[in-house]
Every structure is written in C-alpha cells, then in structure tokens.
Amino acid sequence: MKGKEWYQADEIAEAYDDKRFSGGGQFIDRREKAAVLNALGPVEEKSILEVACGTGRFTVMLAREGADVVGLDVSGPMLQQGKRKAAATGVDEAVEFMRGDAARLPFPDDHFDAVFAMRFFHLADRPVTFLREIKRVSKGPVLFDTFNSQSARVVYNWLLPMGSRLYSRSDVDALLADAGLELVDEKHDFVLPYGFYRGLPESIASPFRQVDEGLGSTGLGDALASVSYWQTTDAEE
C-alpha cells in the first residue's frame, strides 16, 4: 500500500484531522460524512465495519447514530486517535478499534450488515483483493470512494510525494466485475480537488465550494468530479 510507513507515524496521526479537516477542509469532512450516511441509510442497531478507519471520523459518527461499529486500520497511532475521539464523544462502548490487514479481514462471511472504506482505494496496490475481502464479510451494502483520472486531481497528484491511484470509469467497472459486485448508486463531487480546500481558511473556501457545487449540478459536474462514491452490493443477490 502506498505511503504505509508514512501513514503509521505518530506525528502524522496526531496532526491528521487538523491538517485535512479544519478550515476549508470542513467542507470535505461534511460531504464525506453525508455520502456515508446517505449510502448506508438508517444505521441504528446495525453492525458496520469500516476498513481503513484512520482516526475514526466515520466510526465515531456512526456510533453516535446508534450503530455497532468496528474500525479496522493498519496504523496503531491512527487507532489511538480514534479511541480518544470515541471516548471524548462518549461512544467508546459502541466502537471497537482493531489493528489488521484489509486483505485478510479476521471475520467470517456475511458478518456485518454493511462495510465501507473511504480514502483507501487511492492507496491500494491491489484493489480487487481488498474489495473481494470487503464484499466477503458484508451481507449488505459495500461503499467505497475513488479519485478520478479525468479530473483536476491529475494536476494535484503531481504535487504529492507518493501520488495516488486514479481511476477511470472503466477501471471502476472492471473492479466491480472482478469483485463480484453490482453498482447500486453513484455520486460524484468536488470539481476542485481536496487539496485546494485544505489550504484555505473556511471563509475563503466557502465561495469556492458554492461555485463547485453549482458546477457540479450541471451536466459537466459528473464528468469533471475529482472524487466518486460507489454504493454496491453482491452481484449474486
């Protein structure tokens, strides 16, 4: 997986949320959380697995919505941040944080009502292996996101030290077919890539986000979007 050593550093975990989701990054945080909630539907009393949970942004959010959540990640420092967040929010009894490998999930088949992975597949060096394993342990929806190859994300990618895997629509279709998943719904957003928003104060980022959302609502929006959210289910069901 790209950036694995970097991702597991203590200093990266400690600064992760502030660097990415403060200021203009709050627009990213809100949109991603809405995408997860919209795709999973009512989650109260459901068992949900988050793969690559990081600092537990979504894990804690779903626990607050009444779900019984497991957050799995390869990084111990990221998981520690998640545990602190869950305790501070008062949902630590509804969340289990577990260190593990997404390619070998330690759960039986059809163990969870839903499984999702956000901000993961752009780092995956063997995405179909991960997606098959995620599908295996879910008896319901499988949700994930990708960064898109025909978008401004291409330019932003040049500035990143480790880059990101970018996907075309045909790449996603092939990935779903290889994993045995069927597309249920798709959403596309952020004509301006994530990195643009993270570098701005919220007051400056806000008008750009309004323009971005306006353009996204036109016929060009989906074609230019830098990120896509894919809601899928087992193709055999």
pLDDT in the model for residue 109: 98
Residue 16 belongs to some domain of the structure: yes
- The answer to whether residue 232 is domain-embedded is no
pLDDT higher than threshold 80 for residue 237 = no
Q: What pLDDT score was predicted for residue 1?
A: 54
Looking at per-residue confidence, does 136 or 10 come out higher?
136
Give the total number of structural domains in the chain: 1
Between 12 and 20, whose confidence is greater?
A: 20
Q: What is the pLDDT of residue 90?
A: 96
Within a domain: 175: yes
pLDDT digits 0-9 by tens, 23-70: 999 999 999 999 999 999 999 999 999 999 999 999 999 999 999 999
Taking residues 74-84, what's their average pLDDT? 94
- Residue 82's domain comprises 4-227
Percent of the chain with pLDDT over 70: 92
State the DSSP string of 150-208.
Answer: SSTHHHHHHTSSS---EE-HHHHHHHHHHHTEEEEEEEEE-SS-HHHHHTS-HHHHHHH
The pLDDT tens digits of the residues spanning 88-104 come to 999 999 999 999 999 99
Evaluate whether residue 17 is within a structural domain: yes
Query: Over pLDDT 90: what percentage of the chain?
Result: 76
113-127, 144-158, 212-226: lowest mean pLDDT where?
144-158
Position 155 pLDDT exceeds 80: no
Structure pTM?
Answer: 0.92
Helix (H), strand (E), coil (C) string for 23-91: CCHHHHHHHHHHHHHHHHCCCCCCEEEEECCCCCHHHHHHHHCCCEEEEEECCHHHHHHHHHHHHHHCC
Tell how far CA 23 is from the center of its chain: 20
Cα gap 205→183, rounded to integer Å: 32
SS3 (DSSP) at 95 = strand
Asked whether residue 233 is assigned to any structural domain, the reply reads no
Helix (H, G, I), strand (E, B) or coil at 147: strand
Report the CATH number at residue 37.
3.40.50.150
- Cα–Cα dist 142/109, whole Å: 14
Span of 112-121, 160-169, 182-191, 203-212 with lowest mean pLDDT: 160-169
